[in-house]
């Protein structure tokens, strides 16, 4: 992980070895009939849950990523999650929001990061570092689908 990304994470409250309880997050997912986290997603959540990362994108605009369950879980339906999981060809778990809650962020069982924005669905990173780099530096991301 490069220094810039590490500083963004640390400014958001992350530190190496951070571990948090995620039972409430999992319970909230259960209560909304959404896909439960597998071991990989649980480990990510334990390290990053309840953090907000603020940064400037390459054009100078302020953005953020919130990994806070209350920002996403109540707004995701099991029907939408099923559609998005089908598009991703694997199970995905809602983990947070992007840019003041304008887009939803998901983590797949294989560790890939996806985003739903308006009627579009994107693969935005093969891991968290790649995801952050793509967002912050406004790199090209793969649009998987768009509702017609």
Model confidence pLDDT, tens digit, residues 40-94 = 999 999 999 999 999 988 778 899 999 988 888 888 999 999 999 999 999 999 9
Nearest to 136 by CA among 53, 55, 48: 55
**Mean pLDDT along residues 95-118:** 93
The residues, ordered by sequence, that sit 6+ positions from 109 with a Cβ below 8 Å of its Cβ are: 38, 40, 41, 90, 91, 92, 93
Structure tokens that stand for 89 in this block: 């060809």
- Classify the C-alpha dihedral 53-19-134-110 as positive or negative: negative
How far is the C-alpha of 142 from the C-alpha of 133, rounded, in Å?
14
Single pTM value for the model: 0.92
How far is the C-alpha of 140 from the C-alpha of 142, rounded, in Å?
7
Q: What are the angstrom distances between the C-alpha of 97 and each of 2, 106, 122, 128? A: 23, 9, 14, 14
């Amino acid at each position: 992980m490069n220094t810039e990304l590490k500083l963004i994470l640390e400014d958001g409250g992350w530190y190496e070895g951070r571990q948090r309880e995620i039972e409430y997050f999992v319970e909230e997912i259960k209560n909304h009939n959404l896909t439960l986290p597998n071991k990989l997603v649980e480990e990510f959540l334990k390290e990053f849950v309840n953090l907000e990362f603020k940064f400037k994108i390459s054009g100078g605009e302020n953005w953020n990523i919130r990994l806070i369950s209350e920002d996403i879980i109540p707004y995701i339906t099991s029907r939408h999650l099923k559609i998005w999981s089908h598009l991703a060809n694997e199970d995905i778990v809602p983990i947070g929001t992007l840019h003041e809650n304008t887009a939803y962020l998901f983590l797949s069982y294989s560790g890939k990061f996806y985003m739903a924005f308006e009627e579009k669905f994107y693969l935005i990173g093969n891991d968290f570092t790649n995801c952050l780099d793509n967002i912050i530096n406004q790199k090209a991301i793969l649009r998987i689908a768009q509702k017609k």
